[in-house]
Amino acid sequence: MAITFSGGIHVDGCKGTKTKAIENMPAPEFVALPLQQHIGAPVKATVAVGDRVTMGQVIGRNDNALSCPVHASVSGTVEKIETRNSYMGAGKTEYVIIKNDGEYELCESITPLEKKVTDLTCDEVIDLVREAGISGMGGATFPAYAKIQSAVGKAKELIINCAECEPFITANHRLLLERPMDVINGAKILMIALGLSKATFAIEDNKKNAAKVLEESLLDDKMFSVKLLKTKYPQGDERQIVYALNHVQIPTGKLPADVGCVIFNAETCDAIYHAVVDRMPLIARTVTIDGDCIAESKNLRIPLGTSYRDVIEYCGGIKGKLSKLINGGPMMGNTQWDLDGTVTKGTSALLFFSDKYEKKAAPCCIHCGKCVSVCPMHLEPVYLALFAKSGELDKCLDYNLMSCMECGSCSFICPGNVPIVQYIRKAKDKIKAKPKQQ
């Protein structure tokens, strides 16, 4: 029987690409790589205009802060270094634009690991993961090396997040069907580094074929189990997964490691495997392309820095009138306003929608309480929205505004079309911008 958490919503999965195998999209003529693709400090360019770079070469790093280096996804020449809007939301960041020379010459430092994986120390794994520039690929983009560090001596169980609960996205589903051993071996590397003997693959029950493939690939390995989770949003949130599996609530302000768990996304495990065994940095990722305005929906492995325009062209162009482009899932993704935006480490999907997906009615709270009943964090979104809209930030904090995970369940269920999450995000930004009292 599938297990789950309290709260959340049932949405139409719209998983139309679940049968579409992952294709390798050819690299475009130019790639534009932002120097901030992760939570933490941006990196600084280590190349200059006119430099020739090789594929996998570090082009930006910051060793003095929580950060992930950025690598060239093609070989070629640095054409520009310029400031553009950040895909991660408000603000700007520097981009390194590289003209692809079509040679795909691999950086000379990328050579296979010369020792047994089982002989690696935890610090060696952390260094390899950091040098590979891996950040969480489920959307959170937290540097993976730092998550490993935070779990040392605290985590007793590894959880591989295979839920993929956002509508439309099937990239992880296809990865599990097509390359299960890469994910499993990445998980084993994490277990070796952290000294763990227990790992759980947590997967929603709308992906039973992937669960079966995992079970067959594990060959009755007693260290691993595959657990089916009820298909419900936001089942993929780490707090909901921990509760569903272990019936443990993660206290406010604490991490999964504080209750004995460490959680990595399936594609992050895949990237860690290749970073350690092949010493291959993160220079491409799997992205679901879907929506009613794209001619051909696909699952693509795309070189980082590829523009949305190039993706559109590869998928047969736009059909109809494009109203909204979302980087990520429709619940928690970011709306994009520029087709020159690019695929980054955090891009799990690109969704192209017409206006039929827009809510038309003017927002009006009818005090039904549905937002409260579905909140997986057990907050009161109706009041958070009210206080956030009126600028009453102290009251927002009294109602635990900062505990909101911004999953969007409340906005989705609201019959009055109130953009609750947008109000909450704006209030959070104002609180974070306030000078801290001494």
**DSSP characters over 61-90:** E-TTSS---EE-SS-EEEEEEEEEE-TTSS
Give, as one character, the DSSP assignment of residue 381: H
For 102-157, the pLDDT digits (tens) are 999 999 999 999 999 999 999 999 999 999 999 999 878 999 999 999 999 999 99
* pLDDT at position 85: 83
Residue 40 scores a pLDDT above 80: yes
Provide the 8-state DSSP code for 223. T
Its pTM stands at: 0.90
Q: Which helix (H) or strand (E) holds 275?
A: helix 266-277
Q: How far is CA 398 from CA 103, 383, 395, 401, 424, in A?
A: 58, 10, 5, 8, 13
CB-CB contact of 150 with 142 (8 Å): no
Structure-block tokens of residue 282: 């993160």
pLDDT for residue 50: 98
pLDDT value at position 6? 83
Structure confidence at residue 139 (pLDDT): 78
Mean pLDDT of the chain: 93
Q: Which of 205, 234, 250, 249 is nearest to 7 (CA)?
A: 234
The two three-digit tokens of residue 237, written as one number = 């949130």
What's the rounded Cα separation, in Å, for the pair 278 and 128?
Answer: 10
Helix (H, G, I), strand (E, B) or coil at 25: coil
pLDDT band per the 50, 70, 90 thresholds, residue 438:
very low
pLDDT tier at 15, thresholds 50, 70, 90: very high
Q: What is the pLDDT of residue 437?
A: 52
Residue 159: closest CA among 196, 213, 202: 202
Per-residue pLDDT band for 53 (boundaries 50, 70, 90) equals very high
- Whether the pLDDT of residue 363 is over 50: the answer is yes
Q: Give the residue from 163, 161, 167 showing the smallest Cα distance to 10.
A: 167
Closest CA to 291 of 216, 210, 353: 353
| Residue 215 buriedness (CB in 10 A; 0-12 / 13-18 / 19+) | middle
The pLDDT score that the predictor gives to residue 189 is 97
In angstroms, the CA 274 to CA 112 distance is: 9
Residue 177 or 360, more confident:
177
* Angle of CA points 163, 285, 199, to nearest 5°: 40
Query: How far is residue 69 from each of residues 46, 168, 170, 230, 256, measured CA to CA in Å?
Result: 10, 30, 27, 37, 25
Q: Considering just the CA atoms, what is the radius of gyration of the chain in Å?
A: 21
Q: If you average pLDDT over residues 215-229, what whole number do you get?
A: 93
Residue 75 · residue 100 · CB < 8 Å? yes
Q: How confident is the model at residue 360 (pLDDT cuts 50, 70, 90)?
A: low
What the block records as the tokens of 298 is 């696909």
Residue type at 319 in one-letter notation: K
Q: Where does 86-237 have alpha helices with state H?
A: 122-131, 144-151, 171-178, 180-194, 208-218
Is a pLDDT exceeding 50 seen at residue 29? Answer: yes
> Nearest 5 degrees, angle CA 200-CA 204-CA 210?
75
Collapsing DSSP to helix, strand or coil, 285 comes out as strand
| pLDDT at res. 220 | 80
